[in-house]
A = this chain, B = another copy of it.
Amino acid sequence: MKAYVTVMPKNGVLDPQGKAIGHALGTLGFQGVGEVRAGKVIELELAETDPAKARAVAEDMARRLLANTVIESFKVELA
């Protein structure tokens, strides 16, 4: 089954990439844009078919490799 791990900078952590995107959108003429935050998403094809186990594995992957939990939060979605 597929697992999607979404990793975002935690609130309060400086996000220069998000700031740069927000600035660029303003330059392009987009108005009414508030805070912009940039994160990453990792799509994993897992052999595991049990949803609970797949989620546990994906969370373990996120903690050990995909996210820096000091400054980033993550969430796991299955599909």
A47-B32 in contact given A38-B42, A40-B38, A41-B8 (Cβ < 8 Å): yes
Per-position binary interface string of chain A over residues 2-46, scored 1 when its CB falls under 8 Å from any chain B CB and 0 otherwise: 000010100000000010010011001011111111111111111
Residues of B within 8 A of A60 (CB): 30
**A76 close to chain B: CB less than 8 A:** no
User: With the chains together, A21 CA to B41 CA distance in Å?
Assistant: 12
Q: Which of B6, B30, B65, B66 touches A41 (beta carbons < 8 Å)?
A: B6
Minimum C-beta distance from A65 to chain B (A): 6
Interface of A with B (CB < 8 Å)? Answer: 6, 8, 18, 21, 24-25, 28, 30-48, 57, 60-61, 64-66
